[in-house]
Amino acid sequence: MADKGSDPVALWQTMIGEMEKGFNALANKTMSSPEFSKAMNQAGGASAGAQRQLGDVMEKYLLNMNLPSRAQMIGMAERLQNIESQLNEIKVMLQQMNAAASSSMYASAPRPPRTRRPPAASAAAPPPGESK
């Protein structure tokens, strides 16, 4: 086995490790400076402004194309869900009213007495096709 001084893989690993430490030190120093923080804040603000402008342009484009925007679609979906929930509430109320009405109709209406009796078997007419 070769010693550490002449092993190319060990030299490569040492070099990469030292470079990594240097990059980390530089990045930590850079990120801790107020200038870096200010620049990142400005970049974030510019990105947010560009995104807002793109949204406005896209909304105008969709308006010119007579298509709904994302905000309009979300609004329509919310209104549709509200209408569906109101319809479900109305449906439940109608079912409750129907059940109450049908049970009270049958319970409150007295049935007439059965006074008629079926005719007796001896008084019945002969079956068709037979004569007396």
* pLDDT tens figures, 40-75: 888 888 999 999 999 889 888 888 999 988 889 999
Q: What's the domain range around 14?
A: 9-67
Residue 59 lies in a domain: yes
Q: 89 and 63, same structural domain?
A: no
The pTM for the full model equals 0.41
Q: What percent of the chain has pLDDT above 70?
A: 82
- Assess whether 82 and 51 both reside in one domain: no
What is the crossing angle of helices 8-32 and 34-64, to 10°? 80
Host H or E run for residue 67:
none
Residue 72 carries which side chain, given as an amino acid letter?
Answer: Q
